[in-house]
Amino acid sequence: MLKDTVAKYRPFPGVHLPNRQWPARTLTRAPLWCSVDLRDGNQALAVPMNVAQKLELFQALVKCGFKEIEVGFPSASNTEFVFNRLLIEKGFIPDDVTIQVLVQAREDLIEKTFLSLVGAKRVVIHMYNSTSPAQRRVVFGKSKDEIKAIAVHGAQLIQDRLHRLKGTDVTLQYSPESFSATEVEYAKEVSEAVMDVWQPTPQRKMILNLPDTVEVAMPNVYADQIEWMCTNIKNRDSLIISLHTHNDRNTGTAATELGLLAGADRVEGTLFGNGERTGNLDIVTVALNLYMHGIDPQLDFSDLNAVREVYERCTGMTVPPRQPYAGELVFTAFSGSHQDAIKKGLAEWEQGARAHWDAPYLTIDPRDVGREYREVIRVNSQSGKGGVAYLLESEFGIELPKDMQREFGPIANDLVDALGREVKGEELKAMFWKEYVERTTPWSLIHFHADGVDGVFRCRASVLRDGAEQKLNGDGNGPIAAFVNALASAGAPKFEVAYYKEHALSAGSQAIAIAYIQIKLADGMVRWGAAVDTNIELASIKAVLSALNRA
């Protein structure tokens, strides 16, 4: 980009709306949703979906709860026409789902569209023509009146054919394509001319779709355009105002949300934002944005991974790893401070300490969209003790004491750093086992037995020390203390047990226990040890040796 080329551009003019109301409003309910994956999304694919792929995606959209689905452009190709007929003739459309079809304001295309709809129960016929100054000038070479005449003629062609869909519940929809780049006064003029033909009523509304076909301004300008139309167009109570945003400025979500504040009733978009250029609105994002504010989105994304799999299989597209809500990494933290905060937030929620979700760094509970807590924290060289500890606990039930987290966290990070990649839970557990549980030199346990009388315990043990067996005896106020004294009498470095914790790793008659021991040597140095055994007493004795070996 050369600096001297910027002069070719100019700011987009705003809308005169001195008493705008949308900034003070709050969203309280979900809009009507219409998926355009099978049409707008499909036409943006390098290799469009075949009939079988479209059917699979259609059924996935129905499962998500979409009640309006734009199934195609039946006059555009034989595949589109055949798919329409398949849905209708084979009964794939549930009674409460309305299919929508797109058509330009041209007689031959309208005729074929009507042929594709015979026998359907509920349909939206969506007619459009472009209205922006650039389209009028460059594409059509027509005046405002001539462009309006195209819209009116198309509307009349549709009106004249409605009797051919007897028994079908038909809703009519008009889009002044490139609305966002059209003068609002002219968009109103053309829309009202179409309304004069279709004669909508409060009981029989038509859909007026006002697309942000190409994002040419900040999203607040689009909101002003929507509010201006909602305020100034005639017979507003006979209209369903619909939004259809694209993402050229990467603000399609913001434009939609502000457009809803501005008075719109309905939203068109696609799963994960597939569409021309930078894509359509991502309906998943807007729906779950509502959900995180306690608003029922009226769509079911409780198994978002499954939705993503169908989408990727049918379209050949890939959901980016940082895509809001759906991306592989969005419920993941690598930063140590983030991991620690998430771990504590999840623990607070599990304890029932709060009535409403408020976990650090997580806008929603991952389980609500079918994600697992183990996906929240993943370990790489940037991870901290909190992430390491969380993964060990959530996947394997290993509940590291806090001071032990501080010791093992840096050890694990150094090992991961040497690998140069992210590690899985099993790998992290193996690192822990190697560092603590499998430390058997120079000391390892062969046999241990302790008896107590009146608070005094005597132990008899045998150990391997540097490969040679050695018998030990000692007394103390408990089995561990007796063993520590026995080690001291056998020439081991003097130390005391500073911390002890144990818990079960599994249930049942063969339950495995894990013990954690921290020892403090005469010079003040501290070391942790850990061991497992079906016998908790033996696990603790082995943990003492683990710590001693690490010293």
CATH number of 523's domain? 3.30.160.270
What pTM value is reported for the model?
0.78
Q: Is the domain of 275 the same as that of 400?
A: no
Q: How many residues does the chain have?
A: 551
Residues 465 and 487: their CA atoms lie apart, in Å, by: 11
Q: Is the domain of 245 the same as that of 370?
A: no
Q: Is the domain of 277 the same as that of 359?
A: no
Tell me whether residue 39 is in a domain. Answer: yes
Residues 536 and 540: their CA atoms lie apart, in Å, by: 6
Tell me whether residue 22 is in a domain. Answer: no
Domain containing residue 408: 336-435
Q: Is the domain of 361 the same as that of 278?
A: no
Q: Is the domain of 345 the same as that of 287?
A: no
Residues 344 and 350: their CA atoms lie apart, in Å, by: 10
Tell me whether residue 3 is in a domain. Answer: no
Calculate helix-pair angle for 144-161, 184-198, nearest 10 degrees: 30
Q: Which of 387, 410, 435 is the last residue of a domain?
A: 435
Q: Is the domain of 428 the same as that of 452?
A: no
Tell me whether residue 323 is in a domain. Answer: no
Tell me whether residue 13 is in a domain. Answer: no
Distances (CA, A) of 507 to 8, 401, 513, 534: 72, 21, 9, 10
Q: Is the domain of 475 the same as that of 402?
A: no
The one-letter amino acid code at 469 reads E
Tell me whether residue 24 is in a domain. Answer: no
Q: Is the domain of 243 the same as that of 371?
A: no
The closest alpha carbon to 408, from 389, 382, 427, belongs to 389
Instruction: Write out the two tokens for 373.
Output: 């807590």
The one-letter amino acid code at 190 reads V
For the domain that residue 289 is a member of, what is the CATH number?
3.20.20.70
Fill in the DSSP letter of residue 39: I
Q: Is the domain of 484 the same as that of 425?
A: no
Tell me whether residue 11 is in a domain. Answer: no
Residues 270 and 280: their CA atoms lie apart, in Å, by: 6
Q: Is the domain of 454 the same as that of 421?
A: no
Tell me whether residue 170 is in a domain. Answer: yes
Q: Per-residue DSSP letters for 139-156?
A: II---HHHHHHHHHHHHH
Distances (CA, A) of 17 to 192, 228, 240, 251: 20, 7, 21, 21
- Average confidence (pLDDT) per 10 residues, the chain, 551 residues: 78 94 97 97 94 97 98 92 96 97 96 96 97 95 97 98 96 97 98 98 98 96 98 98 97 98 98 95 98 97 97 96 92 81 90 92 94 68 72 88 90 84 86 94 93 89 91 92 92 92 77 92 93 93 95 86
Kindly report the number of other CB atoms within 10 A of residue 356's CB atom: 6
pLDDT for position 475: 93
Q: Are 150 and 129 in contact (CB under 8 A)?
A: yes
Taking the alpha carbons at both ends of the chain, their separation in whole angstroms is 61
How would you write 197-240 as a 3-class SS string?
HHCCCCCCCEEEEEEECCCCCCHHHHHHHHHHHHHHCCCHHHEE
The total number of structural domains in the chain stands at 3
Q: Is the domain of 429 the same as that of 471?
A: no
Q: Is the domain of 278 the same as that of 374?
A: no
Fill in the DSSP letter of residue 63: H
Kindly report the number of other CB atoms within 10 A of residue 370's CB atom: 14
pLDDT for position 490: 86
Fill in the DSSP letter of residue 534: S
Residues 309 and 57: their CA atoms lie apart, in Å, by: 10
Residues 334 and 413: their CA atoms lie apart, in Å, by: 11
Cα torsion for 316, 317, 320, 321, to the nearest 10°?
-20
Q: Which of 261, 285, 315 is the last residue of a domain?
A: 315
Instruction: Write out the two tokens for 256.
Output: 């939609």
pLDDT for position 89: 97
